[in-house]
Amino acid sequence: MTTVALPSTFGLGVSRGGVELRQFFRQKEQVVFTFTFPAIILILLGNVFDDSYGPGVSVGQVFAASMIAAGVVATSFLNLGISVALDREDGTLKRLRGTPITASAYFVGKVFLVAVASLAEVVVLLAVGMLMFDVSLPTAAAKWFTFAWVFVLSVVSCSLLGIAISSIAKSAQSAGAVTNVPYITLLFMSGVYIPIPALPDWMLNVGSLFPIKWAAQGFRAAFLPDSMMTREAAASWELGKTALILGGWCVLGLALCLMTFRWTNKREG
């Protein structure tokens, strides 16, 4: 008798991720908003604060690096908080429950979707930064390595938190409010919309508890000269601490997903 091996959780997740990608890119309005909103904010902020932020570094260049974090969080936490609630409300999750797709495979599929969409978002933001604010791409391999691990940890942690927070929303309609309030608030408190030196200590302390602050700082470490680390709250890029905190949020996010995830809007479902 021939035994047929069942697909792995990761394999099922990647397969589901392909379906998610096709569905995402068919929704033209969502695609346009997802990719243009951070870029528009970057253009506005970069022109409003049109002065020098350091030797040879403009405010626009700093905002370009910081807004990469905002773009990643938008495609992960913000979009997944809404889309997972919608999947639950329209019966998509209920139908998936009757297939070999497990909750873990569903999580992998969503992270796969976010990773691809976020990478495209990064390309758009870097293009805007290079065209309008003289952003230059790193030439050192160490800088690209920093970008890579900050990107991966940011995508995974914020995706899992987006899936987890979707369980708080009672409907897809209310999910927008549930996700937008912490998203917008933390963008201000994490030095994305407002330069770090202009923030009061209490805001920095609160913002440092969450991933956005560390993702933004990590991307600044990747795309700005090391002379700019003196403008950070600790006068350092704190890359080790950044990896530790983002990695910790990956673990906590997964735990929250496993504890709160449900296939239907009915608690018993």
Whether residue 139 is contained in a domain is answered as yes
**Placement of tokens 């003196």 in the chain:** 230
On the question of pLDDT at 151 being above 90, the answer is yes
Q: What is the rounded average pLDDT of the residues 109-127?
A: 93
Whether residue 95 is contained in a domain is answered as yes
CA distance linking residue 133 with residue 59, whole number of Å: 8
Whether residue 4 is contained in a domain is answered as no
Chain segment 66-92, per-residue pLDDT in tens: 999 999 999 999 989 988 998 998 888
Whether residue 53 is contained in a domain is answered as yes
Is the entire prediction scored with pTM above 0.75? yes
CA distance linking residue 158 with residue 253, whole number of Å: 8
In this prediction, residue 173 carries a pLDDT of 80
Burial class (CB in 10 A: 0-12, 13-18, 19+), 156: buried
Whether residue 236 is contained in a domain is answered as yes
Whether the CB-CB separation of 121 and 75 falls below 8 Å is answered with yes
Whether residue 210 is contained in a domain is answered as yes
**Placement of tokens 């700082």 in the chain:** 217
Whether residue 138 is contained in a domain is answered as yes
On the question of pLDDT at 268 being above 50, the answer is no
CA distance linking residue 111 with residue 119, whole number of Å: 12
Whether the CB-CB separation of 38 and 67 falls below 8 Å is answered with yes
CA distance linking residue 119 with residue 71, whole number of Å: 10
Q: What is the rounded average pLDDT of the residues 46-50?
A: 78
On the question of pLDDT at 1 being above 60, the answer is no
Whether residue 2 is contained in a domain is answered as no
Q: Fill in the DSSP letter of residue 35.
A: H
CA distance linking residue 94 with residue 33, whole number of Å: 28
In this prediction, residue 23 carries a pLDDT of 86
Q: Residue 63 carries which side chain, given as an amino acid letter?
A: F
Q: How many domains does the chain have?
A: 1
Task: Name, of 12-16, 81-85, 96-100, the range with top average pLDDT.
Answer: 81-85
On the question of pLDDT at 3 being above 90, the answer is no
3 state SS of 50 = coil
CA distance linking residue 77 with residue 103, whole number of Å: 18
Domain that holds residue 179: 9-260
Model confidence at 5, pLDDT cuts 50, 70, 90, reads low
**Can you say how many angstroms the Cα of residue 110 is from the centroid of all Cα atoms in its chain?**
12
